[in-house]
Amino acid sequence: MARNREGLVLLLDVGPAMHDVLPHVEKACSLLLQKKLIYNKYDEVGIVVFGTEETQNELAREIGGYEHVTVLRNIRVVDEAVVEYVKRLPRGTVAGDFLDALIVGMDMLIKMYGAAQKGKKRLCLITNAACPTKDPFEGTKDDQVSTIAMKMAAEGIKMENIVMRANLSGDVHEKIIDENDHLLNLFSSNAIAKTVYAESPLSLLGSLKTRRVAPVTLFRGDLEINPTMKIKVWVYKKVAEERLPTLKMYSDKAPPTDKFAKHEVKIDYDYKVTAESSQVLAPEERIKGFRYGPQVVPISPDEMETLKFKPDKGMKLLGFTKASSILRHYYMKDVNIVVPDPSKEKSVLAVSAIAREMKQTNKVAIVRCVWRNGQGNAVVGVLTPNVSERDDTPDSFYFNVLPFAEDVREFPFPSFSRFPASWKPDEQQQAVADNLVKMLDLAPSAKEEVLKPDLTPNPVLQRFYEYLELKSKSTDAALPPIDEAFKRIMEQDPELSSNNKSIMDSFRGSFEVKENPKLKKTYKRLLRDKPSGSDDEDNRMVTYDNANENKIDNIGDANPIQDFEAMISRRDNQDWIDKAITQMKTRILKLVEKDSIDESDRALECLLALRKGCVLEQEPKQFNEFLNHLYELCRERNLAHFLKHFKSKKITLIPKSEAADSDVADEEAGDFYVKQEPKLES
Amino acid sequence: MELDPDDEDDKQESHFHIAVSCIAQSLKSHIINRSNDEIAICFFNTREKKNLQDLNGVYVFNVPERECIDRPTARMIKDFDLIEESFEKDIGSQNGIVSDSRENSLYSALWVAQALLRKGSSKTADKRIFLFTNEDDPFGSMRISVKEDMTRTTLQRAKDAQDLGISIELLPLSHPDKQFDITLFYKDLIGLNSDELTEFMPSVGQKLDDMKDQLKKRVLAKRIAKRITFVICDGLSIELNGYALLRPAIPGTITWLDSTTNLPVKVERSYICTDTGAIMQEPIQRIQPYKNQDVMFTTGELSQLKKISTGHLRLLGFKPLSCLKDYHNLKPSTFLYPSDKEVIGSTRAFIALHRSMIQLGRFAVAFYGGTTPPRMVALVAQDEIEGDGGQVEPPGMNMIYLPYANDIRDIEELHSKPGVAVPRASDDQLKKASTLMRRLELKDFTVCQFANPALQKHYAILQAIALDEDQVRETRDETLPDEEGMNRPAVVKAIEEFKQSIYGDDSDEESDSGPKEKTRKRKAGIADEGNYDFIELAKTGKLKDLTVVELKTYLAANNLSVVGKKEVLINRILTHISK
């Protein structure tokens, strides 16, 4: 096993008390394995279940005991089968002993890799920890756990415990739970072990770190307080967005008979003097230009290179300030963590002293950082203390980037106090709002906090991997619906809402809202959203499956103007604008050709809408050409009343002032009639 | 839109210089900050005349390829920089208001300015006249009756302009021995009342400085970034507008130019099928290798997949502010402000929640479907903060995008050594740290007080190249520590004491534990060339028989780059040996 590979043993509690949540355990585990197949396909995985009727493990065979622990799969490189396998976990019949399972798992890892192994070894236990553990043959349980933990630490095995604490039924003994929690805690203090309590299927999905990323330092060097006092630190990313894998483009151009076709697509960028010419400029024949007023100023790479800002690598302290002077919303980017160099004891001390004092006095540090040599810019950021609660973890700082003066847009907003009284809540309404903010509580106590970001999985990623699995079996598999568990982040918790029903009702009653009647229909998109709740299922289906529902792709007879407006404002493809304009033109011509007073009114409305659309989308040419064409047409066919209308509504060409691309000057737009008029009368 | 009819009175050379350099500086900022603004420069009391109305004593400065009032260009700035040299020859100064003529150059200047500003509607454009002068009593030398007449017509002209939505700002320049007396004439022209009168003159110096030393910063119009429906509970949704108040500023878009003609180049993207070499449309199919096969998705399926909710913002509940950790951040926040435009009653409900949240110290957790992927967000209520210069923080809520579980990395765990207690600071060390922090307190620190050094440098380079300047203007890197402050004895002492308490007497030596040794060994291993005679191998052409790792040992030992494919590595070794 190479340095960057992982050997993992999943220890899964399948006892009767776990049956409810097992579907979610299966989901979380298969997601973990799927990602391994994509990102870490040389990782090795073993699966152990406990709480089963039968017993099947090596320790039981060798020395006896360890009953009801079954090794489903020995440690092996991940493969397709294991993803399937973990989705069909057996349902156990007896209450399992998680300590037994742990020892079996640890034994497997040690036998497989031995102590000399460099790779990462990990145990992952998922249980509800509600069943009693057996007493050891000698000593206390505490001693036994400490021994196991120390052995694990010595072998370099990491441990992750996920404890399900959802709906514990009445027959569990609190004493047992307390004891088990205590034992798990002992692991934490003696080994690299972490225990997470998941209170819902959602946080169960979130608590298992499904993507293994090897942490890389962004910076190793000095945090400079002044040139004589430096602290050795390492900087890592603390937060980095996990994205969908980048999917490759696929070409279906190769003939189906070609067995060796790679189906790859290459993207080429051609730089041409004019759109028509076929002459392509070589990289050295082009140069970067930047806007300076109306002109574009070329700057050669050499000039740029010699003149540009070249800061030196390093972290420099600028000073300290009150925490309250940095408002939370000024944090600009994902977050870094600054930890002391683990080999420098004094640096660990220095960071500890500053971090603890910062926390004590509510201060933060302002630093200027250049992470790499040759980096084009410096960043100014804030260090906030991250004081460790664990004895074996060094104190550190979080680093957040702060904005520069140029990054702030100073838009003024009216003070709330200056609003008319009808826009402000009265005392009674304020009391109702206070109540809502107090009672719709997601963190009644630190322990009971729900929807922690740290335990909330990404619904889109979850859905992608599920879809991927389905598609791998059948190419035309349907998109799976979003997992039920995610309802918890997408809607209010029904239990919380129903507990606070009276508060919600009074809030609704106190704050009536209504649509602004003065607005046109097309603008009334806001209140269309149906309330969610009991009849929610339908609503969800609507939003998920018929997302295209209100996408108009044709201008119909009934509401041509609305259709046109909807179409032209579609942003999913540039082509829609052209399509909308073309279709609208045809519609207008049709209406004009009908030649009746009635229709000419409608045609005129359509024409106005078209003009508005063309101004908005900056397509003046399209409109101006059409208007000229229309004029000619009317003259030819002698459609006098339409022309009269035309004039009375003062429809003009689109001049430069309305759309920069127009080649019609402001004066000419008005001249249109003057010019055409005599011809008409002649 | 903005206009500087610029008076030039003959006598005081230095005043002319002040006014011109102020305008020149301000043009250089303007072309970056608001490059769409249109500007005209107009001198009055000149010898020559140049204006559409053909009035005496008024000269509208301009350069070719530019209308009289237009966006500033590099050429204009360049020529204006040299105006002091050419002024006497081309324009000349001459007091236009002399007792025996009926000429009124101030009146004419206002007229010309107003005519220039006729372009564009006052609804969409902000029209301003900046008036530089050092003559506080323009009609002082006239006979009483003429003076009264001229004063009346000039004031009327100014009033007409103001009625058309043009504001006039006065930038008076005082003589060293005599302060500019605003009460003589100009207070009526710009319409100051007696309260403003006393504050006016002291603020002038500041105004001039502000025009000169503007930070180069592109100014964007206030724009709603997102219209958001905020679902508070079933059956109650309100309307909010989202604004991007904080976004990293960038040097501006790059336009590729043909290096010989400096004309813009057209960039074309083409998709080429590698199997057939055919140019194709952007394919709609995407593949993900998985389980030994290529699983195919269409772009439609992928976008469908990401659509898991409506674009609304749904309230989930509230938490105390302490639950929002410093590492719960991904990207810049979005500012939310209520609107009653479409849904009447939105503002009231928003204000009520806003007040309660501030008062109870809580933030709202909500789910926002308007981003890809949709995210949990924290809504933090922000009270209005007013400063000297106006609003510092607008009232509203800031929407902070929260990371998902897999976005957060557990680095702390990586650095813990189970069972081994980590050293912690002692009370004495904490005390020393406390002194240090007090000494290094930044007075009046505000976020964004620093200009972006790379961006300012970029603008300076751009300006130097555009205006053919010999030298790039020095930009100061404000982000560097304040050396002077750092060297104050009290600060040095505090740092020294802190250092002493941590490192002890023997200051620089750090006790190393563990890993350092190992890495040193590994490096040492690499540093030697290995057991091969590379020169011999190179001669016989047998380098290709070695492995990449073996090749790299040679490169590393000779301080050469170790990146690239095997061929590249071999070539690099050969060139090195041949030297």
* Tens-digit pLDDT profile for residues A343-364: 888 888 889 999 999 999 999 9
Flag whether residue A268 sits within 8 Å of chain B, measured between CB atoms: yes
Chain A hits for B319, CB-CB cut-off 8 Å, are 441-443, 449
Least confidently predicted of A216-225, A255-264, A518-527, B48-57:
A518-527
What is the predicted pLDDT for the residue at A28? 87
Bigger pLDDT: B103 vs A237: A237
Residues 6+ apart with CB under 8 A from B113: B3, B5, B40, B42, B129, B161, B166
Half-sphere exposure of A557 (CA within 13 A, CB side): 3
Bigger pLDDT: B2 vs A120: A120
Half-sphere exposure of A605 (CA within 13 A, CB side): 11
What is the predicted pLDDT for the residue at A677? 43
Chain B hits for A300, CB-CB cut-off 8 Å, are 259
Find the radius of gyration of the CA atoms of chain B.
34
Asked if residue B523 has pLDDT above 60, the reply is no
Q: How much is the average pLDDT of A366-377?
A: 89
Quick check: bond before B373 cis, omega within 30? yes
Flag whether residue A216 sits within 8 Å of chain B, measured between CB atoms: no
Residue B263's identity, in one-letter code, is L
Bigger pLDDT: A645 vs B351: B351
What is the predicted pLDDT for the residue at B121? 66
Find the radius of gyration of the CA atoms of chain A.
34
Residue B274's identity, in one-letter code, is T
Residue A381's closest CA among A358, A404, A362? Answer: A404
Residue B551's closest CA among B508, A178, B303, B564? Answer: B564
Burial class (CB in 10 A: 0-12, 13-18, 19+), A270: middle
Residues 138-197 of chain A with CB under 8 A from chain B are 149-150, 153, 158, 189-194
* Tens-digit pLDDT profile for residues A188-215: 877 788 888 888 888 888 888 777 778 8
Asked if residue A681 has pLDDT above 50, the reply is no
Flag whether residue A240 sits within 8 Å of chain B, measured between CB atoms: yes
Asked if residue A95 has pLDDT above 90, the reply is no
Residues 6+ apart with CB under 8 A from A580: A555, A564, A567, A568, A613
Residues 6+ apart with CB under 8 A from B23: B4, B6, B41, B80, B132, B211
Asked if residue A578 has pLDDT above 90, the reply is no
What is the predicted pLDDT for the residue at A595? 66
What is the predicted pLDDT for the residue at B505? 66
Domains of chain A: 6-207 (3.40.50.410), 560-681 (1.25.40.240)
Bigger pLDDT: B362 vs A132: B362
Bigger pLDDT: A601 vs B518: A601
Closest approach of chain A CAs to the CA of B50, in angstroms? 25
Q: Which two tokens stand for residue A105?
A: 């798992």
- Give the pLDDT band (50/70/90) at residue A369: very high
Residue A66's identity, in one-letter code, is Y
Q: ∠ CA B549-B555-B561 to the nearest 5 degrees? A: 105
Q: Which of A232, A286, A398 sits opposite B326 (nearest CB)?
A: A398
Q: How many CB atoms lie within 10 A of CB B144?
A: 8
How far is residue A568's CA from residue A551's CA, in Å, rounded to a whole number?
11
The winner for highest mean pLDDT among A33-42, A367-376, B417-426 is A367-376
Q: Which of A368, A416, A526 sits opposite B239 (nearest CB)?
A: A526
Instruction: Map A296-342 to HEC letters.
Output: EEEECHHHHHHHCCCCCCEEEEEEEEEHHHCCHHHCCCCCEEEEECC
Residue A591 phi, psi (nearest 5)? -65, -40
Interface contacts A/B by beta carbons within 8 Å: 703
Flag whether residue A84 sits within 8 Å of chain B, measured between CB atoms: no
Q: How much is the average pLDDT of A318-336?
A: 92
Q: How much is the average pLDDT of A233-243?
A: 92
* Tens-digit pLDDT profile for residues B304-331: 888 888 888 999 999 999 999 999 999 9
* Tens-digit pLDDT profile for residues B450-501: 889 888 888 888 888 888 888 888 888 888 888 888 888 888 888 888 888 8
Place of tokens 């009647």: A517
Residues 19-58 of chain A with CB under 8 A from chain B are 34, 37-38
How far is residue B236's CA from residue B345's CA, in Å, rounded to a whole number?
10
Distance in Å from the first CA to the final CA of chain A: 94
Where does A114-200 have alpha helices with state H? 141-155, 174-190
* Tens-digit pLDDT profile for residues B251-287: 888 888 888 888 888 888 888 888 787 888 877 888 8
Chain B hits for A268, CB-CB cut-off 8 Å, are 269-272
Residue A98's closest CA among A20, A32, A160? Answer: A160
Flag whether residue A486 sits within 8 Å of chain B, measured between CB atoms: yes
What is the predicted pLDDT for the residue at A548? 40
Asked if residue B122 has pLDDT above 60, the reply is yes
Asked if residue B1 has pLDDT above 70, the reply is no
How far is residue A202's CA from residue A211's CA, in Å, rounded to a whole number?
17
What is the predicted pLDDT for the residue at A383? 94
B122: left (phi over 0), alpha (psi -120 to 50) or beta: alpha
Residue A417's closest CA among B561, B394, B126? Answer: B394
What is the predicted pLDDT for the residue at A570? 67
How far is residue A45's CA from residue B423's CA, in Å, rounded to a whole number?
36
Asked if residue A94 has pLDDT above 60, the reply is yes
What is the predicted pLDDT for the residue at B153? 86
How far is residue B479's CA from residue B454's CA, in Å, rounded to a whole number?
11
* Tens-digit pLDDT profile for residues B69-83: 888 888 888 888 888
Burial class (CB in 10 A: 0-12, 13-18, 19+), B341: middle
Residue A125's closest CA among A84, A69, A173, A87? Answer: A69
Asked if residue A568 has pLDDT above 80, the reply is no
CATH class of B220-412: mainly beta
Q: How much is the average pLDDT of B334-338?
A: 93
Per cent of chain B over pLDDT 90 is 12
Place of tokens 């949240």: B357
Q: Which two tokens stand for residue A31?
A: 């997601």
Which runs of E-coded beta strand occur in B245-339?
Answer: 254-258, 266-273, 279-280, 285-290, 293-298, 313-320, 334-338
* Tens-digit pLDDT profile for residues B84-102: 888 877 787 777 666 666 7
What is the predicted pLDDT for the residue at A286? 85
Taking an 8 Å cut-off on Cβ atoms, the answer to whether A247 and B286 are in contact is: yes
Asked if residue A267 has pLDDT above 70, the reply is yes
Taking an 8 Å cut-off on Cβ atoms, the answer to whether A441 and B268 are in contact is: no
How far is residue B339's CA from residue A461's CA, in Å, rounded to a whole number?
34
Per cent of chain A over pLDDT 70 is 86
* Tens-digit pLDDT profile for residues B7-30: 555 445 577 888 888 888 888 888
Q: Check if the beta carbon of residue A193 is closer than 8 Å to that of residue A148.
A: no
Asked if residue B115 has pLDDT above 50, the reply is yes
Q: How many angstroms from the chain centroid is the CA of residue A65?
A: 47
Least confidently predicted of A643-647, B207-211, B482-486, B527-531:
B527-531
Q: Check if the beta carbon of residue B463 is closer than 8 Å to that of residue A293.
A: no
Place of tokens 């749904």: B314
Average per-residue pLDDT for chain A: 80
What is the predicted pLDDT for the residue at B509? 47
Asked if residue B162 has pLDDT above 80, the reply is yes
What is the predicted pLDDT for the residue at B205? 76
Chain A hits for B299, CB-CB cut-off 8 Å, are none
Predicted TM-score (pTM) of the model is 0.77
Taking an 8 Å cut-off on Cβ atoms, the answer to whether B404 and A206 are in contact is: yes
Beta bridge partners of A291: A296
Chain A hits for B499, CB-CB cut-off 8 Å, are 228-229
- Give the pLDDT band (50/70/90) at residue A523: very low
Average per-residue pLDDT for chain B: 81
How far is residue A324's CA from residue A361's CA, in Å, rounded to a whole number?
11
Which helix H or strand E contains A197, and what residues bound it?
A: strand A193-198
CATH 3.20.20.10 correct for B427-503:
no
How far is residue B468's CA from residue B465's CA, in Å, rounded to a whole number?
5
Bigger pLDDT: A533 vs A72: A72
Chain B hits for A3, CB-CB cut-off 8 Å, are none
Longest C-alpha distance within chain A, in Å?
118
What is the predicted pLDDT for the residue at A248? 85
Asked if residue A540 has pLDDT above 80, the reply is no
Q: How much is the average pLDDT of A470-474?
A: 85
Q: ∠ CA A4-B330-B374 to the nearest 5 degrees? A: 100
How far is residue A129's CA from residue A152's CA, in Å, rounded to a whole number?
20
Interface test with A, best of B316, B435, B471 (most A CBs within 10 A): B316
How far is residue A329's CA from residue A401's CA, in Å, rounded to a whole number?
11
- Give the pLDDT band (50/70/90) at residue B402: very high
The CATH number given to B2-212 is 3.40.50.410
Q: How much is the average pLDDT of B383-389?
A: 83
How far is residue B432's CA from residue B451's CA, in Å, rounded to a whole number?
33
What is the predicted pLDDT for the residue at B311? 82
Q: How many angstroms from the chain centroid is the CA of residue B68?
A: 29
Residues 6+ apart with CB under 8 A from A257: none
What is the predicted pLDDT for the residue at B6? 53
Asked if residue A675 has pLDDT above 60, the reply is no
Residue B215's closest CA among B452, B466, B471? Answer: B452
What is the predicted pLDDT for the residue at A379? 92
How far is residue A109's CA from residue A103's CA, in Å, rounded to a whole number?
10
Q: Which of B349, B398, B402 sits opposite A513 (nearest CB)?
A: B349
Chain A hits for B324, CB-CB cut-off 8 Å, are 328
